[in-house]
Amino acid sequence: MPVITNIDDFKPLYRRRVPKMFYDYAESGSWTEQTFRENTSDFSRLLLKQRVAIDMTGRNLASTMIGQDVSMPVGLAPVGLTGMQCADGEIKAARAAEKFGVPFTLSTMSICSIEDVAENTEKPFWFQVYTLKDDDFMQRLFDRAKAANCSAAMITVDLQMLGQRHKDLKNGLSAPPKLTARSIADMMTKVRWGLGMLGTKRRSFGNIVGHAKGVTDPSSLSAWTAEAFDQALDWDRIRQFRRMWDGPLIIKGIMDPRDAAEALNVGADAIIVSNHGGRQLDGALSAIRALPAIMDAVGDRIEVHLDSGVRSGQDVLKALSLGARAAYIGRAFTYGLGAMGEAGVTRALEIIRAELDASMGLCGRRDVHDLDRDVLMIPRDFAGDWA
């Protein structure tokens, strides 16, 4: 077993162990992948200021996200098809997160259902909902989340239609995978993955098949997906969703200060500055560069969180220093899960915690609540000066 010392170390193992269609599904962005690439590369444009001879003992990473205690301000972002990266993947990731003391967010498009995850975990998790046309189905999703004791709902607002990822079309992505000569040949080399899948019943979209009208089996699902997402979504509709859920609410997928102000008006408890990990609008600004303007617009009135491109504790430190309350990891935990199951998610969280802790100390700061822009050297053009 290789020694995993950073998030990138998972990738060769992940690639060897998981069928190509699911590796590619995670490791790609939409169209030219410009935004996918810049989400990570823009973090390296922010430099950290090294400080010395400042007492760095007694450091603290514990914080809160929407009022809930967390051992560090990092959550697991909702990732669809997590249960195809490894058998029962959502349950494994949720267990790793709860033991670590950070939130796990279950995607609408998960393989394990809300009820499955609730039955197999101890602590409340968060549930992500897409904005769908069907009111009854939306209400039932919120009701099921409530019945499963979910402690927050996260509404993703940046997917009224799907950004195209070329590899998913070329690979014929589906869950469960369609059996073709190519997919069978590939899966035969992924023995561990295959044995895991043979040992579980959870192989299709657990929140949808058998729950959405007319979706009784995976083959009717793709037609449902194309129809179900609401291209007519507006802020009034999002207000209706707010009324369907009376618990803490997070709005995910904000990249513009005007949209941040709208989310505030809806009564959200937090927003996530996110471009969906570069999977939706290709050519959009990276999330970390979008953050300063959004902080300036609403940062004193609502919790601002960030995802997209976070691969290290240094990245988390940079987001927090720009004012974010918390950051999320999507691919970083998915690599760990695909490579090593639950232990891989735990390892990913340990790596990020250790990097955040050491980097914060080396910047002369001892507490995640005591971070500000003075931790960073920020290029003058970072927030952008656009015509």
Ligand X SMILES: Cc1cc2nc3c(=O)[nH]c(=O)nc-3n(C[C@H](O)[C@H](O)[C@H](O)COP(=O)(O)O)c2cc1C
DSSP 3-state assignment of 208?
A: coil
Site string for ligand X, 323-352 (x = CB under 6 A): ------xxxx--------------------
Q: Measured between alpha carbons, how far apart are the two ends of the chain, in Å?
A: 52
Which residue's beta carbon is nearest to the bound ligand X? Answer: 330
Q: Which residues contact 246 (CB under 8 A, 6 or more apart)?
A: none
Q: Quick one: which of 35, 107, 121, 312 contacts ligand X (CB under 6 A)?
A: 107
Nearer to ligand X, 272 or 376 (CB): 272
In the block, tokens 């009701």 appear at: 143
Site string for ligand X, 212-251 (x = CB under 6 A): ----------------------------------------
User: Residues 166, 276, 305, 369: which is the catalytic one?
Assistant: 276
4, 351 in Cβ contact below 8 A?
A: yes
Q: Quick one: which of 13, 61, 79, 251 contacts ligand X (CB under 6 A)?
A: 79
Per rule CB under 6 A, is residue 89 in the interface with ligand X? no
Nearer to ligand X, 95 or 276 (CB): 276
Q: How far is the CB of 29 from ligand X (least distance, A)?
A: 9
Rg, C-alpha atoms of the chain: 20
With CB under 6 A as the contact rule, which of the stretches 3-11, 77-85, 195-203, 240-248 interacts with ligand X?
77-85
Name which of residues 263 to 322 contact ligand X (CB under 6 A). Answer: 274, 276-277, 279, 307-310
Give residue 11's region: left, alpha or beta (phi > 0; psi -120 to 50): alpha
E strand spans, the chain: 47-48, 63-65, 68-70, 74-76, 105-106, 126-130, 152-156, 249-254, 270-273, 303-306, 326-329, 376-377
Q: Which residues contact 209 (CB under 8 A, 6 or more apart)?
A: 215, 216, 217, 218, 221
Nearest to 20 by CA among 83, 84, 113, 64: 84
251, 238 in Cβ contact below 8 A?
A: yes
Q: Quick one: which of 84, 86, 109, 294 contacts ligand X (CB under 6 A)?
A: 109
With CB under 6 A as the contact rule, which of the stretches 10-18, 72-80, 131-139, 220-228 interacts with ligand X?
72-80
Nearer to ligand X, 128 or 346 (CB): 128
211 is a catalytic site residue: no
Q: How far is the CB of 56 from ligand X (least distance, A)?
A: 28
The residue type found at 364 is G
Name which of residues 30 to 59 contact ligand X (CB under 6 A). Answer: 39
In the block, tokens 């997919």 appear at: 183
Q: How far is the CB of 293 from ligand X (least distance, A)?
A: 19
The answer to whether the bond into 176 is cis (omega within 30° of 0) is yes
Nearest to 189 by CA among 19, 367, 369, 368: 19
Q: Quick one: which of 92, 252, 325, 353 contacts ligand X (CB under 6 A)?
A: 252
Site string for ligand X, 152-191 (x = CB under 6 A): ----x-----------------------------------
State the residues that interact with ligand X by CB under 6 A: 25-26, 39, 77-80, 107, 109, 128, 156, 252, 274, 276-277, 279, 307-310, 329-332
Q: List the catalytic residues.
A: 276
